[in-house]
A and B are shown apart, each in its own frame.
Chain A
Amino acid sequence: MPSCDHCNQPAIYHDVRIVNGVHNTTHLCVEHAYEAGVDVGPVDFASLLRPEESSSAPKSTVTACPDCGMTIAQYKKTSLLGCPACYVTFQDNLINIIAKVQDKHTQHVGRSPSQTNVDADRHIQIRRLLRKLESAVNQEQYEDAAALRDELRELHNSSEQHED
C-alpha cells in the first residue's frame, strides 16, 4: 500500500490526473485527505485500527468518520454526531455514552420503519451519485466520473426493471 505524500501513514485516497500528457499522482492518508477537503468515500477504518496491519501507526490516526469526516474530538465538543455512519464508526466510544444518557439501555425495543422504502432509497442514491458526478467533472476527475456514470446507468436500469 502506498504511503501518504505528506507523512508515512497508509494512503486511503489515490488520485491520478493526466494534464497535457503529464501524469500527476496523489496519495493521501485520512487526516491529510480531510485536510485537503477531498471526498474519500467509504473507508475500511477497522482495518486501519488493527495493530497487525498498522503496527507503526498510532491509534489516534483513525478518528474520522468515513462518511462525513466527523472526529470524536469534534463530537465531544458539540455532543452532536455528523451522520448515521458515525454510530458505526464511533460505536466503541458511543456505547458507554449511550448507556449513560439512556439509563443503561443500549437496545431499541420500539417500532421499526414499517417497510424499506425502495423508491425513496433509489431516489436518494441517484441524487447523491449525480452530485458526486458533477463534482468529479468540475474537478476534472474523468476516470471517477466515468465510474459514477456507469453506476448511475446500472441503478437506472435496475429501476426500470423494478417498475416492470
Chain B
Amino acid sequence: MKIDLKRNCPFNSDNVPNGDVVLSSRARLARNLEGFPFVNRATASDCAEVASLLQKISNTKDKRSALEWVNMDELDTVTTELFVERHLISSNLSNATHPRAIAVGPELSRSVMVNEEDHIRIQSIRPGLQLHEVHADVHQLDMEVEEIISYAFDSQLGFLTACPTNVGTGARFSAMLHLPGLRIIKDLQRIHNACNDMSLAIRGFRGEGSGTIADLFQVSNQVTLGSTEEELCNLLANDFLPPVLEWERKARRVIAEKQRSKLEDQTFRSLGLLQNARLLTSEEAMKCLGNIRLGVCLNVIDNITLPQINQLMIELHPAHLRYTFGKDLPDDEVNRCRATLIRNIVDS
C-alpha cells in the first residue's frame, strides 16, 4: 500500500483541542466472533477463516473513508514497523506468524486489527483531546463489523474477550499527556493519586511496563465491565482530564514566572543541540523535543510550532526514517538521518 507520510499524518494539524497538554486521544474496542476459539487457541485455518469473514469490512459504500484491507504477511517489514510506531497495530500483531490482517483508513487514524489477542481490535487515534470523536469513530466501525458477523456476547459479562481484563464493553480509552510542568514542580504524585482514585492506569510513553520519556504519560481506563462505553469515555474526558489540564497549565505558569531563566536555558540548550547534532538517538531527540515543546507553549521561542514538534516526535522513529530516507537504511545510519531530519525543521 502507498503511504504519504505528510498527507497521512494527523498530528501535524493546527488548532488541535487542548494540544498544549494532550498529544493524542485513542479508543479501542476488543471483540471476538461467536463460534470460533480465541486466537491463542485457534488453528491457522481458524484464523484464516476469521480473516476471510472480516474482509468484507473494507467494502463500505463510501469509498473515501473505506478501510484498506492488508494481510500482514504481504506487508513489508518497514511498513509493518511504521504501523507499530503509529500505534495502528501492536508489536504482538507484527511479530505473530498466524494468519492476521489490518484494515486501515486512508488517513492512518482508524484501524481494525484482525487476529491480535482478540479476533477484532477496532481503534481510532486523533491528535489532542478528542476522546468523544475517537469514540464515535470506533462505534461506527463496531456497527459496520456487526452487520457482517456475530459477536461472542454474554448478557451478564458483555462482549467476551480472551483476557477477562477486557470483558464487558471491551473498550479502552486513552490520552497521551505531556506533563513537564507537574514534573518540574514535583507534583506528579497528584496525577498518580487521581488515577488510583478513579481506577485509571498511568504508563510512560512506551506503554506497558515502560519508563517515561520526554514527560509523556498515557492514561487509560482499567475497568471495562460495569459501565457503558460513554461512561468510560466521560470518566477520562470529563472527570479526569479537565482538572489535570488545569494543574499542568498552572504549574507551567508558575515556572514561566518564577523559573524563567531556567526555562529559557533548558529550551535554548535543547534547541541548540538539535540544530547542531550530527548523530541523535531517539531518546535524546525525544527529550530535547519535549523541552522545546514546553518552551513553545510558554512563548519562550516561536520559530517552531507544536504541530511540527508533534510530527517530529513520530517521524524520528526508525521505520519512519527508513520510509523517508530509504528502506535499506542500515542501523548505524539511522542516528545520522534522524539528526538531519530534525535539523532541517528546527533550522528553517
Contacts and interface: CB of A to CB of B under 8 A. Distances in A.
B156 A108 contact: yes
Interface string B139-163: 0000100111111111111111011
B226 A94 contact: no
A127 B150 CA distance: 14
Nearest to A90: B164
B150 A108 contact: no
Closest CB pairs A-B (n = 4): A105-B226, A108-B158, A82-B41, A84-B152
A106 B168 CA distance: 9
A108 B157 contact: yes
B271 interface: no
Interface of A: 67-70, 78-84, 87, 94, 97-98, 101-114, 116-117, 120-121, 123-125, 127-128, 131
Contacts of B40: 78, 80, 82
Interface residues of B, number: 46
Interface stretch (B30-38, B242-250, B257-265): B30-38
Interface in B30-61: 32-38, 40-41, 45, 49, 53
Interface of A is mostly: loop
Interface of B: 32-38, 40-41, 45, 49, 53, 117, 143, 146-160, 162-165, 167-169, 171, 199, 222-229
Contact of A81 (B147, B153, B162, B169): B162
Contacts of B41: 68-70, 82-83
Contacts of B226: 102-109
Contact of B169 (A87, A97, A108, A114): A108
A127 to B, nearest CB: 6
A83 B149 CA distance: 16
A105 to B, nearest CB: 3
Contacts, number: 128
Contact of B153 (A82, A83, A103, A112): A112
B126 to A, nearest CB: 22
Given A106-B225, A107-B226, A108-B157, A117 B35 contact: no
A40 B79 CA distance: 43
Contacts of A117: 146-150
Contact of B228 (A69, A82, A102, A110): A110
Contacts of B49: 127
Decide if the interface of chain B is mainly helix, strand, loop or mixed: loop
B146 A114 contact: yes
Nearest to A79: B163
B38 A103 contact: no
A156 B155 CA distance: 29
A138 B40 CA distance: 26
Contact of A120 (B148, B156, B157, B160): B148
A87 B160 contact: yes
29 contacts: A68-B41, A80-B40, A80-B162, A81-B162, A83-B36, A83-B37, A83-B38, A84-B38, A84-B152, A87-B160, A87-B167, A102-B226, A103-B199, A105-B226, A106-B156, A106-B225, A107-B225, A108-B168, A108-B169, A109-B227, A110-B171, A110-B227, A110-B229, A111-B229, A113-B153, A117-B147, A117-B148, A120-B149, A120-B150
B96 to A, nearest CB: 14
Given A84-B34, A102-B225, 19 more contacts: A67-B37, A79-B163, A82-B41, A83-B41, A101-B165, A102-B223, A103-B199, A105-B227, A108-B157, A110-B168, A111-B228, A113-B150, A113-B151, A117-B146, A121-B34, A121-B35, A121-B150, A123-B53, A124-B149
